[in-house]
Amino acid sequence: MDFLLWEQFRIHETLGLDSAEQRDIIQTNMANARAWAEGPLAQSYKETDEQEAYLADGKVVLPDSYPGLYQGFSEMWTQWQDGAAQGTAMPPIVQNLIIEMFMAGNASFMTYVGFSQPAKSLLRAHGSDDLNATYGPALQDMRATACLCITEKGAGSDLSKLSALATKQDDGRYLLTGHKWLISAGSHEMTDNIYYFVLARTDPKQTGMAGLSCFLVPRYRIDEAGAHRIDNGIRVNEVVTKMGFKGCANTHLLFGEDGVETQAFLLGRMEGTGLQQLMMMMKPARISTGIFALGLASSAHETSVAYSQQRVQGKRFDRAMSARAPSLPIAEHPDVRRMRLDMAAYTSGCRAMIARLGLYQSFEDDPSQPEDLRRAADDISEVLLPIVKAYTSDKAWVVCETAIQTHGGVGFTRDYPAQQNARDCKVLSIWEGTNHIQALFLFRDKLGMCVQPKRLNTLRAAIEDTLARAEATGALDKDVHNLRDALAALGDATAAARDCVRYQRMNDVPQFAVELQAALGDIVIAWHLLEAAEIALKALASGDADAAFYADKVDIARHFLRRRLPQSAASLRAIAGEMQDVVATQLAKTQAA
Amino acid sequence: MDFLLWEQFRIHETLGLDSAEQRDIIQTNMANARAWAEGPLAQSYKETDEQEAYLADGKVVLPDSYPGLYQGFSEMWTQWQDGAAQGTAMPPIVQNLIIEMFMAGNASFMTYVGFSQPAKSLLRAHGSDDLNATYGPALQDMRATACLCITEKGAGSDLSKLSALATKQDDGRYLLTGHKWLISAGSHEMTDNIYYFVLARTDPKQTGMAGLSCFLVPRYRIDEAGAHRIDNGIRVNEVVTKMGFKGCANTHLLFGEDGVETQAFLLGRMEGTGLQQLMMMMKPARISTGIFALGLASSAHETSVAYSQQRVQGKRFDRAMSARAPSLPIAEHPDVRRMRLDMAAYTSGCRAMIARLGLYQSFEDDPSQPEDLRRAADDISEVLLPIVKAYTSDKAWVVCETAIQTHGGVGFTRDYPAQQNARDCKVLSIWEGTNHIQALFLFRDKLGMCVQPKRLNTLRAAIEDTLARAEATGALDKDVHNLRDALAALGDATAAARDCVRYQRMNDVPQFAVELQAALGDIVIAWHLLEAAEIALKALASGDADAAFYADKVDIARHFLRRRLPQSAASLRAIAGEMQDVVATQLAKTQAA
């Protein structure tokens, strides 16, 4: 993480955080976050699995440690916020790293606090002054948590089928009826209040994506004096049981269906703008999912490497049958090293990608940055967004599998956490829009159906910069060649997709979208690993102290670019060929007609 | 399965099972097996997860349904055995398919019966007449289960570190002391007795792989009258908790450490031959692991496809925003179809590979078969053996992931079985020798360090036959090209590995062994899918009734050979390049010296 901040992304220069004081604050915050993540959070991880959230007498019971964790988090976070308000540096790139540590410590717990920040922005942007005055303070000082309620039983990824209904009364109030399903961190007793941000219809006759509004629906309404909490009629009908993430209560919520009315407060001045309002939630939710996945994968990676260093078993390949040959720590066996390099490539590559997104967010938010830099940052961020969500969550499953395998037999037991990491992470390829939906989002919205190459060209130009620097080292020739080859294959695939769109075969592209997204993800990871290797080679040449660390950066990059990336290029050429066949068939049909 | 038996492997011809009666018996047995697998076995699958095996008062408590299942299995199996004894056909190819159904129904339960058959062979081959007379009958009529005890805490994959000790007494008896760890189906109360086949030393001074003997160690000794059971001092110290496979009690067993002596009966006439005796167990154990994995993957595949056909959600890509466009069963969405083809390719490919192994076993066991056929069958079987174990278990994890993803959000809940399939299957890449150990076994023992190409050449010749027939259809050109290309890449990789061995860089090969094994597995799967597609095209041309079934066979093959296989070829070329670099470095060093 230090390497990312001060060597790969050089935030002292790029973000102007060049004073010793600023650096100090960041390092102190990072150290405090680490201590809390490795301490109370990580210590509660196994308990989180053993004390699955459940429903008793209408209330959700969480693992014993959660109220204490919530208090610890609130104190730390509000302190940082106060610091940030006083101008103390906590740029998004640092926040992303800190959140990763928390996710690695106990991801289930983090679902209870994860939506607070976006909820504040939503309320500030679209809530009335009255609403902000009444409900804002508890969100600010964390006496209330926030929770996003979109999904219903009949409408998972398809919002056009939502049916929850907010009916406007003669006195202007909205009363909500209906249900929401699989709502993460949907209820608990850790705070005085919970704010549900609910997507609902106001007119039962409207169907489809139109006519959806977003409401703030508090668990307890606050009376005019601000003193009393009034039951707002929200009931928990079920807490589903899951393969992992067991501390996160995924709830079936009923609104206004128990004889007690549920009041809902419309966000914005008019009905029907809920989807647009929630758009601003999508970006942080997708990044956050990527960080969830990265945290779980990092944890699996680190615990398995630690195990492999202390577990002594087996001998060198050519001396396997010799009674006198020494047994080795399994970390020294070639395949355990191969597994470590795979895990390190995915986790450090994804970490760098997510750090870049944080850096670019600072550029975008800062009008003093040059316009072309801000535009490039925006282009690249848009392309990276679905990849951060989908690629990181898909690879987390692979990393966790590798971590289990590294442990051997004990990896399958619940005595070691890698299997819990695997079980926990599986939801991440599904929620916040499945990874196929991310791939459609990439193809349609981010790459402009491959007909508008602007954003992708910006990304390619940035990668070319890195390639030129890597080439100049003279030590990464094979790697540079492989990444150039993968970029050429990407060009083939996007050209073929574009032709499908041009020749009326647009519907043939989605079947290849997941592979396109996965291969583009590999290219992005390769880019970041190559960038790190180039920096590491320079550090090695300058005789830096920690030679093993930098040499490992080079090894990780070479491993990925030589042994994994060629498969992505092959996959891109394969789908390009399939799409070219589609186009050729279509052209033959047109000519015949 | 019918397609495999009667069309792909044509057992009426290849095994001479051409009478209506023989076919009838097989079909009846298959139907009975299916009814039992889909009935009582599958009905107990969720319970198996909820009622994890545990230890109470020194005894292992299993899920409620297990004693009933055990009785059902015993009756069916002994009936089949009686039939087989009377010459009724149950060739290995059929048995493998039936066992797959059972694994798909409830894999954890199957661990309690899985070792009975190999144990009988072991006892018959190496047990004394007395031992067979005393302990054989209960094994035969399933009043005793059998259990293989190799692993110890300090010695997972490394048998040289085993320390359990059988000490010969003056009266010739052996008394066993020590412990065994992670012993699957290690204790239960379903039968009168349990026979432990224990690998132990007889001389504590010996270390390494030498001096290991195999003992039959009954839970209860039988007195000379054969009437009384005598406690043989075996204690269960722990039942480990696991991420899946929860009905299988993985036990820590203590022998002769509780004040009650444990008698052990040596197999064979002399000490120190235990490893050789157990060799005959390795082959069925590895095939059985492959079938475990296939059963779990098939189950995940089938339940997710069924779900996708009834779950209606989302619209066609180009009409996603249209309120009037109809919502579709998710099975019709292009990416859900892509996931189905992936799952179908892996499961039907692995099923065919395992069926082939069964067929070849019949050839090997039958002296009336032509010598060259038997030799070819033996060559190919040897190469396939580690792939059946490793490839099937690795891909089961992938298939289960895809099945979870197919379900969307509910796939993560314990209301649907795919997530249990995933959790259950993860042990299979670890036990019976980790998949890396299988890869070393493939490289060293099966491919003769790539220096002795005989077996691989036999396999290639068989694949070339299929390629020629597929080419003749004129409809599989791209697929034939891709498989030829993958074979060429395989040639590059094995040549480079051979050069590493030749030029004293043998220790550099193991780091690539897993990738070599995985790519060879892909080639084998592609071969079987292509073979099926060629047969299906003929059936389609002849106007067979079930056109959809045969067309799907062609689609599955094309999907795999066009979109997955090129990545394997790229992986083979990548590792070939890395090994060539190793050799070049070595040659440069030698020339410099």
ipTM higher than threshold 0.95: yes
Q: Which residues of B touch A154 (CB under 8 A)?
A: 313
Q: Which residues of B touch A325 (CB under 8 A)?
A: none
- Rounded to the nearest angstrom, the minimum Cα separation between B259 and chain A is 29
Q: Backbone dihedral region of B226: left (phi > 0), alpha (psi from -120 to 50 degrees) or beta?
A: left
Q: How many Cα atoms are found within 13 Å in the side-chain-facing hemisphere of B500?
A: 28
Mutate to test the interface with B, among A180, A181, A321, A511 (most CBs of B within 10 A): A511
- Rounded to the nearest angstrom, the minimum Cα separation between A30 and chain B is 33
Q: Do A567 and B574 touch (CB under 8 A)?
A: yes
CATH architecture of A117-272: Beta Barrel (2.40)
Tokens of A503: 């020749």
- Rounded to the nearest angstrom, the minimum Cα separation between A580 and chain B is 13
Q: What is the pLDDT along chain B (593 residues), one digit of tens a residue?
A: 999 999 999 999 999 998 999 999 999 999 999 999 999 999 999 999 999 999 999 999 999 999 999 999 999 888 887 777 666 668 999 999 999 999 999 999 999 999 998 999 999 999 999 999 999 999 999 999 999 999 998 776 677 788 899 999 999 999 999 999 999 999 999 999 999 999 999 998 887 778 899 999 999 999 877 677 899 999 999 999 999 999 999 999 999 998 999 999 999 999 999 999 988 888 899 999 999 999 999 999 999 999 999 999 999 999 988 878 999 999 999 999 999 999 999 999 999 999 999 999 999 888 999 999 999 999 999 999 999 999 999 999 999 999 999 999 999 999 999 999 999 999 999 999 999 999 999 999 999 999 999 999 999 999 999 999 999 999 999 999 999 999 999 999 999 999 999 999 999 999 999 999 999 999 999 999 999 999 999 999 998 679 999 999 999 999 999 999 999 999 999 999 999 999 999 999 999 88
Q: Do B412 and A427 touch (CB under 8 A)?
A: yes
When CB atoms are compared, the residue of B182, B397, B574 closest to A566 is B574
Helices (H), B366-475: 371-407, 418-425, 435-441, 454-473
**Pairs across A and B, CB distance < 8 A:** 211
Query: What is the residue extent of each domain of chain B?
Result: 2-110, 118-272, 275-430, 434-588
- Give the pLDDT confidence score for residue A374 in this predicted structure: 96
C-alpha to C-alpha distance for A292 and A285, rounded to whole angstroms:
10
When CB atoms are compared, the residue of A314, A412, A575 closest to B430 is A412
- Phi then psi for residue A340, to 5 deg, are -60, -45
CB B449 within 8 A of CB B496: no
Q: Which residues of A touch B478 (CB under 8 A)?
A: 577
User: DSSP code of A312?
Assistant: B
- Nearby residues of A452 by Cβ (< 8 Å), 6 or more positions away: none
Closest CA to A416 of B268, B193, B426: B426
User: DSSP code of B414?
Assistant: T
Q: Do A510 and B335 touch (CB under 8 A)?
A: yes
C-alpha to C-alpha distance for B198 and B213, rounded to whole angstroms:
8
Q: Do B511 and A314 touch (CB under 8 A)?
A: no
CB A555 within 8 A of CB B543: no
Scan for tokens 């004394």, then name that residue: B128
Which segments of chain A have a pLDDT < 70? 85-89, 156-157, 226, 544
Q: Which residues of B touch A513 (CB under 8 A)?
A: 335
- Rounded to the nearest angstrom, the minimum Cα separation between B412 and chain A is 6
Task: Name the closest residue on chain B to residue A419, using Cα atoms.
Answer: B243
Dmax (CA) for chain A in angstroms is 90
- Phi then psi for residue B203, to 5 deg, are -130, 115
When CB atoms are compared, the residue of B209, B243, B397 closest to A412 is B243
Question: B217 pairs with which residues across the strands?
Answer: B196
Q: pLDDT digit string (tens) for A326-362?
A: 999 999 999 999 999 999 999 999 999 999 999 999 9
CB A388 within 8 A of CB A433: no
C-alpha to C-alpha distance for B544 and B536, rounded to whole angstroms:
9
C-alpha to C-alpha distance for B574 and B580, rounded to whole angstroms:
10
B367-382 exposure pattern, b = at least 16 Cβ within 10 A, e = fewer: eebeeeebebbebbbb
C-alpha to C-alpha distance for B582 and B593, rounded to whole angstroms:
17
Q: pLDDT digit string (tens) for A209-248?
A: 788 999 999 999 998 776 778 999 999 999 999 999 999 9
CB B351 within 8 A of CB A194: no
CATH placement of domain A276-432: 1.20.140.10
Mutate to test the interface with A, among B335, B435, B503, B585 (most CBs of A within 10 A): B335
When CB atoms are compared, the residue of B241, B413, B429 closest to A242 is B413
Report pTM. Answer: 0.97
Q: Do B160 and A323 touch (CB under 8 A)?
A: yes
Q: Do B208 and A405 touch (CB under 8 A)?
A: no
Scan for tokens 């990336």, then name that residue: A565
The three-state DSSP-derived secondary structure of A546-576 is CHHHHHHHHHHHHHHHHHHHHHHHHHHHHHH
Amino acid identity of B414? Answer: R
- Rounded to the nearest angstrom, the minimum Cα separation between A394 and chain B is 10
Q: Which residues of A touch B578 (CB under 8 A)?
A: 562-563
Per CATH, which fold does B118-272 belong to?
Butyryl-CoA Dehydrogenase, subunit A; domain 2 (2.40.110)
Q: Backbone dihedral region of A211: left (phi > 0), alpha (psi from -120 to 50 degrees) or beta?
A: left
C-alpha to C-alpha distance for A560 and A360, rounded to whole angstroms:
25
**Inter-residue long-range contacts of A36-39, CB under 8 Å, 24+ positions, other chains counted:** A36/A72, A36/A73, A36/A76, A36/A102, A36/A105, A37/A101, A37/A102, A37/A104, A37/A105, A38/A101, A38/A105
- Interior CA angle at A158 toward A195 and A284, to 5°? 50
Q: Which residues of A touch B210 (CB under 8 A)?
A: 323
- Phi then psi for residue B392, to 5 deg, are -65, -40
CATH placement of domain B275-430: 1.20.140.10
C-alpha to C-alpha distance for A381 and A357, rounded to whole angstroms:
6
Q: Do A413 and B241 touch (CB under 8 A)?
A: yes
Tokens of A282: 């999508």
C-alpha to C-alpha distance for B199 and B202, rounded to whole angstroms:
10
CB B455 within 8 A of CB B446: yes
Q: Which residues of A touch B415 (CB under 8 A)?
A: 240-241
Mutate to test the interface with A, among B511, B555, B565 (most CBs of A within 10 A): B511
Closest CA to A17 of A2, A5, A3: A5
